[in-house]
Amino acid sequence: MDPQKTSYPLPVGEPDPQQSGLGFEIADTSLTEALATLRKRRWLLIVAVVLGASDGAYKAYTQPKLYEATGTIQVHNGASNEYKLDTGSGYGDDLETKINTEVAILKSDSLLATVAREMNLANNSDFSGVPPGSHRSLDDPNVRASVVGELQGGLQVSLVPQTEMIDIGYSSLSPKLSADIVNKVVDDYRQWSYQTPVESTRRVSQWLSGQLEELKAEVEQTQKQIMDLQRKMGTLGYDSSHNQLQSSLEGLVGAEGAAKIARINAESRYRMVAGMDLNTIEGSIETTPGTAPGELNSLRGQLASAKASYQQLTVQSPLGLGPNHPQVKALQAQIGELTKEIDTEQNRMELQAKETYLAAKASEDKTEQELDAKKAEAYQQGDDLVQLTILQREYEQNRTLYDGLESRLRTAEVQAGLEALEVDVVDQALPPVSPTMRPPSSIIVSTTVMFLLGGIVIAFIMDGLDTGLHNIHEIESVMNMPSLAIIPQAKRASVEQMAPMSTAQRNINVLTQPKSQFTEAFRTLRTSLLLSTAGQPPKFILFTSAMPSEGKTTMASNLACIMAQGNVRVLLVDADLRRSNIHHRFGLTGKLGLTTVLTGTSTLEEALQHVPEAPNLDILPSGPVPPFPTEMLSSEAMVALMERFGKMYTHVVIDSPPVLSVTDAVVIGHMVDAVVLVVRHGKESKNVMRRARDVLARTGAPVAGLVLNAVDVNSPDYYGYYGYLGYSYGNVDGDSWETQPPAAGEADAEGKDKR
């Protein structure tokens, strides 16, 4: 046995038909699917349309006669705004925001509750339908909610585009009540527009007054602390620049500089005099205050004159007087006296410069001592100065804030009556003459459309929640595999017709209804299977399903009979070792079968059975139920038996258990050429079919496709597959069986089988 197998990969996420190895592609038909969904749920749409039309007609012809009164007002910033101190306030810069705000106020619960209370609408029979003389109170939350809700429901507030005007309307059963409510709403709104700014300003004024009292106390406390600290520091007024200590420091700094200059001058004079040449001292002393340079110069002149006279008498005189001459002695005595006086004067001048220097030095030292003392005192007052600065800054801030709030409070008091908007009545509401009613056709159409849209939404929701598979397109999309055939529901023969039939004829419809749609569907399945593999038709064909009761045994039995009608040998094997059924379908015994052959208790020839209705068909029942069916089907004996089948028969059709119940079908799937998945119409869900698809994909079984069983051919979902009802075969046993002619490929396959 060398079966040709096709690969079937496991889908990941959305299935990719191009990679399935089946050459099957699903087209994008979203619009078609939507139309199919609506067609499938058409009864829901019909019911929705009928209900919508009925409800619309009821509303149209039972609508109450409502009288609508309308008034118009203009909301704007009036002449009072010209007297505002702050012209930037208000809503003048954003008219749209302001108008929308006013519309919301007109619809507010508080305003309408005021209207209802003043008009006593809770006990108005025309408004709420209560009997006359009722005594309901708006203090009751339920009554208030009911009355205000009804008032809001009948009130219409709309803007007039590109204007400052607002239309206010109300509809009720009474013309006068409608007009009265509109006018009352306008009056209360105007009153509210005046009271609200005044009340708001009053609340702000109260708050500002409280803040001012606190700030005033803080300012007074800070002022007292500043004054105490200034008294301690000796400052004048509130300016720290007049501090007495600071004034003393400034004077001492100046005095210190002057003393230092005086000391430097005196020291320089003293050192100059002390180190100067005696012959040149008179030139410098003349410029020095407090000295007598003329006297020293006179003494020096006298000394020079005396020396000159002495020289003349002793040296230059022709007489040549000697030292003992009286004149010479007198001159010598005069010279000595003058020299002594000059020395005394020079010493006096040096001593005077020294005393002046010492006095200047003492004055400088005293000034520095006093300055150091004042500096120490100033350092001690540094913390007080810092504290004073902090207190002054806090005082200024609190005082500025106090002045600003006081000014704001006075402004608010002045503007209290100027913040209100101007509300002018353009058109006062008058009782309407005739009621306002919608056209019946408009009500019916709109209601019908709404019901229809709701029905469409419900139809798609139901379709989305529906996990069932209703047509071949859905099954192909979920399974990602092509459909080999669609098997219609078999038509049962009557009791009189079944009386002369054998067991095989009663259970195998293709044997008794050769020209029916049911039989033609199996011929289509045979053709699809013969053309499903490349190179040569499949020899081993396995039928399985996702869950029990899908009809796989019916598929295998009828297909085996159809294949056996040609010039080929066909073997039908019942490999469902747990719930065997094929031998019952053909009226055979199940004592010998596949299990006895695999265990060696009987030979294949002994287990094979035949039915006279299908001469070319051999049937191998399952035999007794074994304890371990899966191990028996996966044994070497089963592999050898399959090889023997391949040599003896042209086609081998195998019936196996469901893939999601046991693993028998998966085990046999590796030994066959084609696996056919049977799906019963309307039975399985999408989740079950996806699980079956994944199981087959993981095992790599050569899946040829699926067969949709027990289909109602009269359903609109399958009209495209069986839309040839006008073409039919002749009458068979009194019944007409409409079929389609065999496809060209099917005829070729049948001929190949005969050869």
Query: What CATH number is given to the structural domain containing 257?
Result: 1.10.287
The average pLDDT across 48-76 equals 87
User: Phi/psi zone of residue 303: left (φ > 0), alpha (ψ -120 to 50 degrees), beta?
Assistant: alpha
Residues 316 and 263 in one domain: yes
* Residue 621 maps to a domain: yes
The residues, any chain, with a CB within 8 Å of residue 493's CB and separated by 6 or more, are 501, 506, 512, 733
Residues 521 and 606 in one domain: yes
Q: 469 pLDDT band (50/70/90 cuts)?
A: low
Percent of the chain with pLDDT over 70: 71
Residues 709 and 567 in one domain: yes
CATH number of the domain encompassing residue 509: 3.40.50.300
* Residue 487 maps to a domain: yes
Dihedral sign of CA atoms 719, 720, 722, 725 in order: positive
Per-residue pLDDT for 540 more than 90?
yes
**What pLDDT, on the 0 to 100 scale, is given for residue 438?**
79
Residues 620 and 535 in one domain: yes
* Residue 78 maps to a domain: no
The residue that leads in pLDDT, 135 or 477, is 135
Top mean pLDDT of 92-96, 105-109, 248-252, 680-684 is at 105-109
The average pLDDT across 52-58 equals 90
The residues, any chain, with a CB within 8 Å of residue 436's CB and separated by 6 or more, are 66, 67, 68, 171
Q: Average pLDDT over the chain, rounded to whole?
A: 75
Computed on alpha carbons and rounded to an integer, the radius of gyration of the chain in Å comes to: 65
**What pLDDT, on the 0 to 100 scale, is given for residue 649?**
94
**What pLDDT, on the 0 to 100 scale, is given for residue 417?**
54
Cα separation of 633 and 238, whole Å? 115
* Residue 129 maps to a domain: no
Cα separation of 710 and 552, whole Å? 11
Q: 570 pLDDT band (50/70/90 cuts)?
A: very high
Residues 444 and 575 in one domain: no
Q: 699 pLDDT band (50/70/90 cuts)?
A: confident
Question: What is the total count of domains within the chain?
Answer: 3
Q: In terms of residue numbers, what domain contains 331?
A: 244-393
Least confident of 85-94, 174-183, 255-264, 448-457: 85-94
Residues 515 and 449 in one domain: no
pLDDT in tens, 388-440: 677 777 777 777 777 777 776 666 655 555 555 677 788 888 888 888 777 88
Residues 373 and 460 in one domain: no
The average pLDDT across 595-601 equals 92
Per-residue pLDDT for 706 more than 70?
yes
> Phi/psi at 571 (nearest 5 deg)?
-115, 130
The residue that leads in pLDDT, 38 or 196, is 38
The average pLDDT across 537-551 equals 90
For 386-411, b/e burial (b = at least 16 CB within 10 A) is: eebeebbebbeebbeebeebbebbee
Dihedral sign of CA atoms 464, 468, 470, 472 in order: positive
Q: 14 pLDDT band (50/70/90 cuts)?
A: very low
* Residue 416 maps to a domain: no
Q: 644 pLDDT band (50/70/90 cuts)?
A: very high
Residues 474 and 459 in one domain: no
**What pLDDT, on the 0 to 100 scale, is given for residue 372?**
75
Q: 39 pLDDT band (50/70/90 cuts)?
A: confident
Which residue among 412, 430, 465 closes a domain? 465
**What pLDDT, on the 0 to 100 scale, is given for residue 606?**
92
**What pLDDT, on the 0 to 100 scale, is given for residue 289?**
52
pLDDT in tens, 263-316: 777 766 666 666 665 555 555 554 445 544 567 677 777 777 777 777 777 766
DSSP labels, 534-568:
SSS--SEEEEEESSSSSSHHHHHHHHHHHHHTSSS
**What pLDDT, on the 0 to 100 scale, is given for residue 273?**
66
Per-residue pLDDT for 722 more than 50?
no
Residues 494 and 456 in one domain: no
For 18-56, b/e burial (b = at least 16 CB within 10 A) is: eebebebeeeeeeeeeeebbbebbeebbeebeebbbebb
Q: 242 pLDDT band (50/70/90 cuts)?
A: very low
Residues 453 and 493 in one domain: no
By three-state DSSP, how is residue 134 classified? coil
Per-residue pLDDT for 251 more than 50?
yes
Least confident of 197-206, 347-356, 438-447: 197-206
Query: How many C-beta atoms surround the C-beta of residue 219 within 10 A?
Result: 20
The residue that leads in pLDDT, 183 or 683, is 183
Least confident of 405-409, 528-532, 540-544: 405-409
* Residue 593 maps to a domain: yes
pLDDT in tens, 107-126: 888 888 888 888 888 888 77
Helices (H), 466-507: 472-479, 495-498, 503-507
The residues, any chain, with a CB within 8 Å of residue 227's CB and separated by 6 or more, are none
Residues 386 and 447 in one domain: no
Residue 69 near residue 432 (C-beta atoms within 8 A): yes
**Pair of tokens at residue 22:** 């089946």
Q: 559 pLDDT band (50/70/90 cuts)?
A: very high
Residues 571 and 631 in one domain: yes
Q: 742 pLDDT band (50/70/90 cuts)?
A: very low
* Residue 750 maps to a domain: no
* Residue 748 maps to a domain: no
Which residue among 333, 364, 393 closes a domain? 393
The average pLDDT across 475-499 equals 75
Per-residue pLDDT for 680 more than 80?
yes
Query: How many C-beta atoms surround the C-beta of residue 4 within 10 A?
Result: 15
The residues, any chain, with a CB within 8 Å of residue 246's CB and separated by 6 or more, are 240, 378
